[in-house]
Amino acid sequence: MARSTFEKYGGFAKVSRIVAAFYDKVLDSPRLSPFFEGTDMKRQIDHQTKFIASIMGGPVSYSNEELERVHSRYRINQAAFDEIAMLLRETLEDFDVEDEDVTVVTQNIINRAKFIVNTK
């Protein structure tokens, strides 16, 4: 049986390190950091670790409805979303995730844009 991408890269321990490094980049971004003012980053990293793990075939799952509900209170425009996707791609590459796997993970995020982008 084939291993999931989640297992291939070391499970929660590795995904958590990737997500922590990703948020370092996000918080350095003038466009993105305002979204996280007042956010408990330890909790945010925990949630995002579970989300990225789910995209990589890990044991957690999030529905598109949950994504939409959680992000509905933020005015996330397409430019902010695109930057998030780019920073995730860069971070995965920094952690030597193979190109094909980087593409699958980032495409999975991009495919959910309509549940995250909200300019209403």
As a whole-number percent, the residues of the chain with pLDDT over 70 amount to: 98
Q: Where are the alpha helices (DSSP H) in the chain?
A: 5-8, 11-28, 41-55, 64-71, 78-94, 99-110, 113-116
CATH of domain 10-30+39-116: 1.10.490.10
Give residue limits of the domains in the chain: 10-30+39-116
pLDDT tens digit string along 4-59? 999 999 999 999 999 999 999 999 999 999 999 999 999 999 999 999 999 999 98
What global pTM score does this model have? 0.91
